[in-house]
A and B are shown apart, each in its own frame.
Chain A
């Protein structure tokens, strides 16, 4: 039981023995997948499998042809080798990318080995926290990380931040008394990896390493299996389609070939050639290039992607469940408003102090700043003069830190300032009197009065005041002033800010002469009839980039749901501040107040916004939660526990959304795992959260997520373009067989030729599409619906196959007939010529001019207008002329390269195109014009029949 004392080790020899037994005090990283498995996984995706099958088929075909001594059988071997090379090279590439990001993540761990102050054999020693064992006696003080699970045996004002474990944002005080059987509830246990905020404590280590509470949660989360990413699902879907089509067409041609009298083996080779021709060799490279490029781009923007495919997931995200603290906000209390001279002044809350400041000329302000600066126990850690003030590390609680930094900025060197006002006595804050005071000597050595400064809960402070400082003048605190105080207090409170009141008094020189013995316990001095100086309110302000980023999410159709452990009012204020709750949106309660009707009578559908606290959430069924998420577009969950975070994520997923979750605490790791994409914070995030996440924001900045979304969408679009390109060429490759069989023309396109087109010329253009820039309106579209907006859909296939593919086929036929006719074979003679053409005994076949041909079958490579195809596929929606850089350099280089390769095909005894290069150009122009017309229609008439049928 947690409450029973155990024998302490506190002995060096014993400690070594226990260390031997229990192992070092550190969280073992979740059992990593062995490196070779990771590599193997890179080689075993859907597309990769398709290519392996194709390679095996090629080997078989090679075997067959080689044994029969067919000329050119080595083409098959080369093809198989190329296929395998493509798989292995892209596999290495992907593996390297993931390896690199794992390294970046790993570099964040253990930057500084944690130290612990341990008492062994009665001696205090600073040792490595890793060497702690159960039974060790350790001391912690404010600012330390708790080095293991410890039971407190002595504490003085010790407070710990358990937020990474339980999500509670309030500091928890720790005392030696055992208050609860549950270790998470009791006051005498401090947990491994939480932070001690203030005070000192001594305790015995009760658990180390993975046996600590946090270790258990971490290992729990790593047990949750990884969900398949949307892009993996889409690619599988595509592979299914491709495999189905390939086998269908291959089998059809096999049957037809058998029917028209080919030998079984030859028909088999037909079958294999068609199956292999259907394998999109370029696509694998495109996918890998797309993902790695984007991962690189994101890394430059401080997003590290652990799992490459997660990049695309971010693009399909429709709901982001965001943490508040640290992600949306700066994670530091900052003075936001001041009330003095009966006016609310706004302070500068920006991270870099670039905002507007208020008028500081008033005498009241000087007094208020003095109180705030003197009645403050927080101090800067030494040697930080070079750092900007907001970045300096302070020892003290959050609001005192805020006040210290604020006064440091406003007045200047506070440490020196406090020296001038020598502190005589101090009464620290406690929960019963709810104020803090100190008495100081004045800086003017001639003035022998003492100055008493006090701060605390505003209503308690006001009780003790009889006057109020207005423009430097003390005025009696009458009803009118009290009322304006109330209004200001309410106003600031409703902004979700923490408000403190400040007052002071010059103690009577006669009553309290120099050397008077002030007693902090007795409080033998004036503590009423003080002079009220003003109110200062503080908040953890939103990051400057967040409102803009939330706005971008909104235009991109992504819902941002805030899930926080904070107070509903604060949460709501920040939500309104960053735009998660938009201006003019009301909650049910707001409507009730406005219409002066009971909450029950309000039509829930009228309220756009909704703030649900953890308490309310506990009483809701999952259907009610779904309903709430469905009916209120703007949601804030406050005071939620980590388990509830998981419930919210599940509810969003039930509604069909793809959910991104941000989190930093250990307790967030289940939700991070459950989410379609888990995003951990690099600075505030715990290792457990980082392990569970797919992506890590190195700067904890929400705005980086938006960049990620944009990149993810770009990937999906570019893949779609690449696939459209890949699919299109299947038709001009198949139609030659079609006319070969139906109208018996000499075979225009040999099997090997098809393979050469595929391999030599198609990988590069499809990869070039990966470099495509975003179509400018990418962030103005709704996120894709994973059930409807597939990577490969009907309209994409129909457009590629039956329209562009058809035009290309016609271009191919034209080219074929032109070449034939110009060599001497008129189109009409070609029809029905097949049997003579392939007759090995007929060596004096007459052409249309009477020439006699000895040539056996020569392959004629049809030129397909794939260059035009690459161009049109660059955009799906916008006209190519609207794209900023019409042709990026790479596409051009690739087109030229493609041309060169086609020329070099001559070497491979494939019929060279020679002078027939230019025949299909008009068709290329036709494709271009046709696609421009299509895009114009799609842009001009969104939602019309044209858009529905022709936009892919």
Chain B
């Protein structure tokens, strides 16, 4: 292999590279004549045009075949997530912390809640129906106007002392703050598999048992009423609102506790340690002086 192993100097290498860039003997530039460069470029342009065309066709076919009301597959999303409001974070953990003597921090919390509750005020909920409590609100047909389905009314006032109607500070001016728990919506999801048992919220204290005197749920028992299920999707129920449960904590002593709020229903999973928001939410509640 003597022929391949010749040690070449840098100068020779540069010269070789120069010849590669422009070889006057064969009229080639970077290994091809300009004419050939045109051909190969055209070939690649044509190739990519056709490929893009095929790709667009594939995507168009895909969109054409999709059902606008329900996704084809729901195997990824089988159990709803749970969120807490106001959602304030320190790094990855939910920490609801406010200062009882600082109006600014109180207002931040209460404003967040009142903003969140805006879609739930009476005027917004005017168009929704007052449904029969305690049973699923199943609709086979599109009976509402504009080929939609009815949604059930959930008004702010249902949250009682946490509605912000009589106490616009939501208790953040003192040691009895309200948090609002929302369960994520999933199309056609029936809690407790249609057994007619309503799911309810259960908050437990993970640490700082002594610092919480009492937990109040609104609506009573922390029930998510069955009439809000099933959800039929954005297109079918444009005015749907998630049912909510508000929780009022009576803080004492150190006024600090770690709380887990779980939606109890036997088809809502909550034990996957990889997914901290599945079926439950854990947060730290702190009222500073």
Residues of A within 8 A of B (CB): 71, 227-230, 233, 650, 653-654, 656, 658, 676, 786-787, 794, 802-803, 806-807, 810, 813-814, 817-818, 821-824, 826-827, 840-841, 843-844, 846-856, 858, 914-915, 922, 926, 945, 949
Contact = CB atoms under 8 A, between A and B. Distances in A.
A856 B275 contact: yes
Given A71-B274, A852-B81, A854-B184, A823 B73 contact: yes
B79 to A, nearest CB: 9
B62 A818 contact: yes
Contacts of B7: none
B80 A854 contact: yes
Most B Cβ at <10 Å: residue of A824, A826, A841:
A824
Contacts of B70: 849
Contacts of A841: 87, 89
B81 A853 contact: yes
B31 A844 contact: no
5 contacts: A803-B47, A827-B59, A848-B234, A850-B234, A850-B240
A821 B66 contact: yes
A851 B76 contact: no
Contacts of B3: 653-654, 656, 786-787
Contacts of A852: 80-81, 184-186, 242
A852 B182 CA distance: 11
Given A786-B1, A821-B63, A849 B275 contact: no
A898 to B, nearest CB: 23
Contacts of A817: 59, 62
B145 interface: no
B1 A676 contact: yes
Contacts of A843: 81, 83, 184, 277
A851 B186 contact: yes
A813 B55 CA distance: 9
B48 interface: yes
B21 interface: no
B40 A949 contact: yes
B142 interface: no
A595 B76 CA distance: 91
B71 interface: yes
A855 B275 CA distance: 7
Contacts of A233: 1, 4
Interface string B41-64: 001100110010011001100110
A233 B1 CA distance: 9
Contact of B73 (A229, A230, A822, A850): A822
A824 B81 contact: no
B36 A854 contact: no
Contacts of A230: 1, 4
B106 interface: no
B71 A822 contact: yes
B4 A849 contact: no
B72 interface: yes
A750 to B, nearest CB: 14
A945 B274 CA distance: 57
Contacts of A787: 3-4
Interface of B: 1-5, 31, 36, 39-40, 43-44, 47-48, 51, 54-55, 58-59, 62-63, 66, 69-77, 80-83, 87, 89, 92, 182, 184-187, 231, 233-235, 237, 240, 242, 274-275, 277-278
Given A802-B44, A850-B234, A854-B184, A824 B5 contact: no
A780 to B, nearest CB: 25
A882 to B, nearest CB: 25
Contacts of B77: 823-824, 851, 853, 855
A821 B70 CA distance: 11
A849 B184 contact: no
A849 B71 contact: yes
Contacts of B4: 230, 233, 786-787
Contacts of B83: 843-844
B184 A228 contact: no
B49 to A, nearest CB: 12
A814 B58 CA distance: 7
A786 B6 CA distance: 14
Nearest to A794: B31
A914 B75 contact: yes
A949 B44 CA distance: 11
A806 B89 CA distance: 43
Given A814-B55, A818-B62, A914-B75, A851 B48 contact: no
B69 to A, nearest CB: 8
Contacts of B55: 810, 813-814
Given A803-B47, A844-B182, A849 B187 contact: yes
Contacts of B233: 849-851
Contacts of B87: 841
A922 B51 CA distance: 13
A743 to B, nearest CB: 14
Ranked 7 nearest A-B pairs via Cβ? A854-B81, A850-B234, A852-B184, A822-B72, A824-B71, A854-B277, A843-B277
A787 B31 CA distance: 15
Contacts of B44: 802
A945 B59 contact: no
Contacts of A846: 234
A787 B4 CA distance: 7
A945 B54 contact: no
Nearest to A847: B71
B2 A653 contact: yes
A654 B275 contact: no
Contacts of A949: 39-40, 43
A862 B185 CA distance: 28
A841 B92 CA distance: 7
Contacts of A658: 1
Nearest to A676: B1
A915 B39 contact: no
A786 B2 CA distance: 11
Contacts of B2: 227, 650, 653-654
A922 B55 CA distance: 11
A826 to B, nearest CB: 7
B81 A844 contact: yes
A183 to B, nearest CB: 33
B151 to A, nearest CB: 11
Contact of A822 (B43, B51, B66, B82): B66
B1 A228 contact: yes
Nearest to B186: A851
B185 A850 contact: yes
Contacts of B237: 850
A228 B5 contact: yes
B270 to A, nearest CB: 11
A926 B54 CA distance: 10
A430 B230 CA distance: 119
B73 A840 contact: no
Given A821-B62, A821-B66, A851 B36 contact: no
Nearest to B70: A849
Contacts of B92: 840
Contacts of A786: 1, 3-4
A814 B63 CA distance: 12
A914 B184 CA distance: 25
Nearest to A229: B1
Nearest to A650: B2
Nearest to B281: A843
Nearest to A949: B40
A945 B32 CA distance: 11
Given A787-B4, A846-B234, A858-B76, 5 more contacts: A650-B2, A814-B59, A823-B72, A844-B182, A853-B77
